[in-house]
Amino acid sequence: MNIVRALEVALPELPEQIVRKYPPKLDPKVIAKEHIEKGKPVVLTKMPGTDLVFRFSPLQWKLIQMFDGDSSFEDIAARFGEETGVAASEEDVKELASYLQTSSQLLYKSPLERNITLQQELRLSHTKRRRSRTLDFSDLTLKTWKNPDNYISWLYPKVRFLFTPRFVWLSLALFVLMAWMWADRFGEIWSDSFAYYNFMHKSGWDLVEFWVLFGSMAVVHETGHGLVGKHFGATIEKMAFSLMYFAPSFICDATQVWVIGGKWARIATAIAGIWIDLLFCFVATVVWWGTAPGMPAHDWAYKVMIITGIGVSVLNLNPLIKLDGYLIFSELVSEPSLKESSTAYLTSWVRKNIFRLPVDVVYVPRRKRLFFVVYAVLSGLYSYSLLSFLMIVTYHILSSFMPELAFAPALAIGYWVFRSRIHMAVRFMKMLYLDKKQRVKAWLTPSRLLVATALGILLLFGPIWPDSVDCTYVLEATQSAVIRATVPGMVRRVSTSEGAQVQVGSPLLSLANLNLESNAEKSRAELLRTTARASAASQQYSEFAEAEQERLQSAVNERLSRNQIGQLSVVSPIAGTVTTPHLADLVGRPVSEGDVLLEVAGLSDLRARLYVPEFSMSEVRIGQRLHLLVPGQWVPSSASLVDISPAPSLLPTGLFPKEQLQGINPPRFYLGTGFLKYQSGLLPGMSGQAKILVGRRSLAGFAGRFVRDLVQRKVW
């Protein structure tokens, strides 16, 4: 017999009301401290081991402190009136005690009461589990440490130097030094920081590596929160390791600092994780900067930089989701429950003023209303975009194998992620229907019903919806120049950089060649000597022909040497854009004759090579319009399809992930061509997504095409 069954047998019908007949008593373990919020005093209270922080006015807290377990409600009311001069009835005291008993754990509970509470919680969890019958993979706790304060207390004295002003200033100096090390590669590090979290192109080993690195850094991050919380006197109540949508997550509960600490103590605790991440990022940067490319230490250090640097810092500092940035931002604007308050205000306002439902709008001061609306909208959009991540990844992975059916598992993942919000939307629609049912019936006269039916038929069968074919493109220059070294030498100076605009004859780089320069000086001196000898011979009418011949030969040698010296200065043969990256790395590098130095793309039209999937070829025609979304731009560029290959083409290496092209029937692509007018920011080699507008179609036409393609491919 397990413990739950034993409680059911021993206490079959023990009601909670039996416990409540005894006078309430404030639990002595409760921590509390008075703060100033929005210019008013408020007492923050918390029961160690629980997740909730309660806010009371000083008078309410004064009354709660009178719950000593011996005084009756009548005595407490009388004593409160005598000490504060504020009248409180016995019913008011009972109501407050009932609220604390049912909604908090601030009141002391005997072992018998705790057993009853545990029994109710277990029954409730079993009921929820039977109803759901599925695991919640959005937050799956694997391990919980109940007394982690011992670990933080052991570690804190060893790293106490972290909290000295001297080390704080040293940390800022290290961050500046790290930024200097990143200076010439910042664009690459920035893009890699976000590309590293693109799981669509990762192998199984890459996922394991990411899981281990991210989980390890999460432990360091959360330990930073715990150390700063301990520094301000908080007790670390809980640490846990969990999976959030299968990604490793580590939790350190330092919420006591929100009770016992002030505003800046809370901000310091919230930013501590990012701070210690950046310290590890600095160490990784030093290793990456000081090791040669290709070394294991170099590669691992770069990945640690990616995990602890820009990507994680930007994500954590984002105030739109409940991470470190949200806690810091809410403290700065003095709104401790900003997300809940703004969302409640916006939803109640929309229900009241747009859907005309009988609800009360949550009160918000006039000066904060616009801020609450903007924050609620941005926070909601960002949160839903993050929740859509799994659905989008699933669709992109499966679309290369089964483009007709890839939407089905993606929609299943989407329903799994958004199921609670979908159920909430269904309940809202039911409430809206019940509230508006009679009014809609009265408004929907036969004539209006006829018009609505006609509009529905038009929307369903009218060819008004744009239809397009999605494909991938790569930009190429219609005119380009590959510049090679015409003489050997060592690169002395680089006068341009990737993306720079150059004109014909603009200097690009210069070489150094001591032999050529020495020979040029010798040729110049020889020319001067032979010229003087020829001049003297002409004056003396002696051996003039031999001297003149020697002078002419020296002049030819000097001209050749001068031409070679001129080739040490490399200039652009065309006007265009430099497309070669990391040109500064060429300085000091020896080059031989014929080595490629850099490439310049001409300032003319760009050619877009389109890779059209085979299953869409039946819709594609020459002359159709193209919309190409260039990376870094919000507005797509327009072009026309001028050519399409009659046979499948080879795909450029790296344009599509190799893992997606090794099925039994890998997808085939046909090569299309379009031309773009040159725009600032466009460079050859850029790739992205394009849409070929193939016409307009009705919703019924979309459904019919899907069924037709499915039958033709999978049945017929």
Q: Which residue has the higher pLDDT, 124 or 701?
A: 701
CB 27 within 8 A of CB 107: yes
> 175-208 pLDDT, tens per residue?
899 888 888 777 777 777 767 766 656 666 767 7
Q: Is the pLDDT of residue 112 over 50?
A: yes
CB 246 within 8 A of CB 148: no
Query: What per-residue confidence (pLDDT) applies to 142?
Result: 72
Helix (H, G, I), strand (E, B) or coil at 560: helix
> 78-109 pLDDT, tens per residue?
888 888 888 888 888 888 888 887 777 788 77
Is residue 687 very low, low, confident or very high in pLDDT (cuts 50, 70, 90)?
A: confident
CA distances from 63 to 9, 17, 43, 57, 488 (A): 39, 22, 12, 10, 90
Query: What per-residue confidence (pLDDT) applies to 201?
Result: 60
Helix (H, G, I), strand (E, B) or coil at 628: strand
What is the rounded distance in angstroms from the CA atom of residue 252 to the CA atom of residue 221? 9
Q: What is the number of other CB atoms lying within 10 angstroms of the CB of residue 422?
A: 12
Q: What is the mean pLDDT of the chain?
A: 78
- Which residue type occupies 607? R
Query: What per-residue confidence (pLDDT) applies to 713?
Result: 60
Helices (H), 85-164: 90-103, 111-132, 149-155
Q: Taking residues 463-476, what's their average pLDDT?
A: 85
Query: What per-residue confidence (pLDDT) applies to 122?
Result: 54
Is residue 6 very low, low, confident or very high in pLDDT (cuts 50, 70, 90)?
A: very low
Query: What per-residue confidence (pLDDT) applies to 252?
Result: 84
Token pair recorded at residue 680: 């600032």
Closest CA to 20 of 121, 116, 88: 116
What is the rounded distance in angstroms from the CA atom of residue 494 to the CA atom of residue 500? 12
Range scoring the smallest mean pLDDT among 139-143, 400-404, 449-453: 400-404
What is the rounded distance in angstroms from the CA atom of residue 444 to the CA atom of residue 455? 14
Q: Phi and psi of 9, rounded to 5°?
A: -75, -45
Is residue 651 very low, low, confident or very high in pLDDT (cuts 50, 70, 90)?
A: low
Query: What per-residue confidence (pLDDT) applies to 661?
Result: 37
Query: What per-residue confidence (pLDDT) applies to 664?
Result: 38
Q: Taking residues 626-643, what's their average pLDDT?
A: 79
Q: Phi and psi of 470, rounded to 5°?
A: -85, 135
Q: Is the pLDDT of residue 131 over 70?
A: no
Q: Is the pLDDT of residue 5 over 60?
A: no
Q: Taking residues 592-599, what's their average pLDDT?
A: 86
> 572-588 pLDDT, tens per residue?
888 888 878 888 888 88
> 239-269 pLDDT, tens per residue?
888 776 666 777 888 888 888 888 888 888 8
What is the rounded distance in angstroms from the CA atom of residue 528 to the CA atom of residue 519? 14
Is residue 449 very low, low, confident or very high in pLDDT (cuts 50, 70, 90)?
A: confident
How many Cα atoms occupy the beta-carbon half-sphere of 544 within 13 Å? 8
Token pair recorded at residue 115: 């057993």
Token pair recorded at residue 60: 């309410």
The H-or-E segment that residue 578 falls in is strand 576-578
Question: Which domains are present in the chain?
Answer: 3-132 (no CATH), 140-332 (no CATH), 470-477+603-715 (2.40.30.170), 480-600 (2.40.50.100)
Exposed (0-12), middle (13-18) or buried (19+): which is 454, by Cβ within 10 Å? exposed
Is residue 10 very low, low, confident or very high in pLDDT (cuts 50, 70, 90)?
A: very low
What is the rounded distance in angstroms from the CA atom of residue 226 to the CA atom of residue 222? 6
Q: Taking residues 550-577, what's their average pLDDT?
A: 82
What is the rounded distance in angstroms from the CA atom of residue 193 to the CA atom of residue 171? 22
> 306-355 pLDDT, tens per residue?
888 776 777 788 888 888 888 888 888 888 888 888 998 999 999 888 88
Is residue 448 very low, low, confident or very high in pLDDT (cuts 50, 70, 90)?
A: confident
Range scoring the smallest mean pLDDT among 116-120, 549-553, 675-679, 682-686: 116-120
Is residue 289 very low, low, confident or very high in pLDDT (cuts 50, 70, 90)?
A: confident
Q: Taking residues 517-534, what's their average pLDDT?
A: 80
